[in-house]
């Protein structure tokens, strides 16, 4: 929906995912956890399956499906679930914006289904499948954003180009993560970019549909185009600071928890150590680690006899 609410809602969705990722990856880094490409065999049965359903996947499905519904049937009484106008003689396509949005949202919903199937239903979690599904969703978003700009004003295009930039960088990072899933710099860069996509969409809604001055931004004023880029740079800075704050908060909360739990100073040291380990181990995924990971996986495969 090329409306105020049509930009606010995906903005909030991206922002909530960004914040979720920020907490998730901070926890994983501070605890020294790693993404396992194939998890250990899990108990079967309907119950344990239900218990394993991931929040992230459900969020994706709910958001995606709601957005698709809204595109077609919002405001209530409207039905846009038609591709071409049968009444006109040459059957022209109608609702191109809506169908493009629907395509985008469907891919994200699909990625949610893949998450659930992989994490809850399959005998083992296949991280690779989940990663490929979300990568595909972002690539589709980039492709559609690119063709979304035909015949629009320069300010709107400028706003969308910057969104496309953030989206395309996420695509690149996700592609690299297929081969390097445990690189901490990539984790946090991705998180920051997703958060930036969110806040930028929120800001874009105001720029395009509710400018504070009450009058739409003029496209022939160069100052406007230059300030759009400026604002985007400030969004990056703000989201970086927000990310640092979430990381620090998680660190603090984790050290408190462990203090209360064991009543000793040791866990604190451990947290700090793992933080340092993060800081120096990130860049160079050592051969040592790789070999260890391989050994663990081989052991895993040998243990299971189903």
> Which of residues 16 and 219 has its CB atom nearest to a second copy in the complex?
219
Look at phi and psi of residue 247 and say left if phi exceeds 0, alpha if psi is from -120 to 50, else beta: alpha
Task: Tell me the C-alpha distance between 277 and 210, whole Å.
Answer: 47
> Which of residues 47 and 288 has its CB atom nearest to a second copy in the complex?
288
Interface pick for a second copy out of 48, 248, 264, 269 (rule CB under 8 A) = 269
Find the helix packing angle between 55-73 and 96-116, rounded to 10°: 160
215 binds a second copy (CB under 8 A): yes
Contact positions with a second copy (CB under 8 A) in 14-53 = 37-38
Task: Tell me the C-alpha distance between 286 and 124, whole Å.
Answer: 27
Q: Which residues contact 213 (CB under 8 A, 6 or more apart)?
A: none
Identify whether the C-beta of residue 167 lies closer than 8 Å to the C-beta of residue 142. Answer: yes
Task: Tell me the C-alpha distance between 217 and 27, whole Å.
Answer: 42
> Which of residues 12 and 129 has its CB atom nearest to a second copy in the complex?
129
> Which of residues 51 and 290 has its CB atom nearest to a second copy in the complex?
290
Contact positions with a second copy (CB under 8 A) in 129-158 = 129, 132, 136, 140, 143-144, 146-148, 150-151, 158
Structure tokens at 209: 């549909």
CA angle 212, 218, 221 (to 5 degrees): 120
Q: Which residues contact 180 (CB under 8 A, 6 or more apart)?
A: 186, 285
Instruction: Count the site residues for a second copy by CB under 8 A.
Output: 79
Interface pick for a second copy out of 58, 81, 226, 249 (rule CB under 8 A) = 226
206 binds a second copy (CB under 8 A): no
Contacting range for a second copy; rule: CB under 8 A; set: 47-55, 63-71, 246-254, 287-295 = 287-295
213 binds a second copy (CB under 8 A): yes
> Which of residues 66 and 126 has its CB atom nearest to a second copy in the complex?
126
Contact string 50-89 vs a second copy (x = CB under 8 A): ---------------------------------xx-----
> Which of residues 169 and 254 has its CB atom nearest to a second copy in the complex?
169
Residue 225: CB minimum distance to a second copy, A: 5
**C-alpha 74: how far from chain center:** 25
Task: Tell me the C-alpha distance between 27 and 146, whole Å.
Answer: 35
């Amino acid at each position: 929906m090329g409306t105020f609410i049509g930009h606010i809602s995906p903005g909030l969705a991206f922002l909530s995912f960004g914040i979720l990722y920020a907490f998730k990856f901070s926890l994983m880094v501070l605890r020294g956890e790693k993404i396992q490409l194939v998890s250990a065999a899990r108990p079967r049965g309907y119950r344990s399956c239900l218990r394993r359903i991931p929040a992230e996947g459900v969020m994706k499905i709910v958001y995606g499906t709601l957005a698709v519904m809204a595109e077609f049937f919002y405001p209530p009484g409207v039905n846009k679930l038609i591709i071409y106008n049968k009444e006109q003689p040459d059957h022209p396509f109608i609702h191109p914006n809506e169908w493009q949005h629907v395509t985008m949202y469907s891919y994200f919903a699909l990625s949610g289904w893949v998450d659930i199937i992989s994490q809850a239903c399959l005998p083992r979690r296949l991280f690779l499948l989940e990663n490929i599904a979300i990568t595909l969703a972002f690539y589709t978003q980039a492709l559609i954003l690119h063709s979304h700009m035909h015949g629009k004003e320069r300010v709107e295009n400028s706003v969308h180009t910057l969104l496309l930039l953030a989206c395309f960088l996420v695509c690149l990072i996700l592609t690299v993560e297929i081969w390097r899933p445990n690189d901490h710099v990539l984790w946090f860069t991705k998180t920051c970019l997703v958060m930036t996509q969110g806040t930028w969409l929120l800001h874009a809604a105001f720029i395009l549909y509710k400018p504070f001055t009450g009058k739409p931004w003029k496209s022939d004023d160069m100052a406007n185009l230059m300030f759009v880029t400026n604002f985007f740079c400030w969004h990056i800075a703000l989201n970086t600071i927000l990310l640092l704050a979430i990381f620090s908060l998680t660190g603090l909360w984790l050290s408190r928890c462990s203090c209360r739990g064991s009543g000793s100073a040791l866990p604190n040291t451990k947290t700090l150590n793992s933080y340092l380990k993060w800081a120096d181990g990130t860049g160079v995924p050592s051969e040592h680690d790789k070999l260890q990971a391989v050994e663990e996986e081989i052991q895993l495969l040998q243990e299971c006899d189903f």
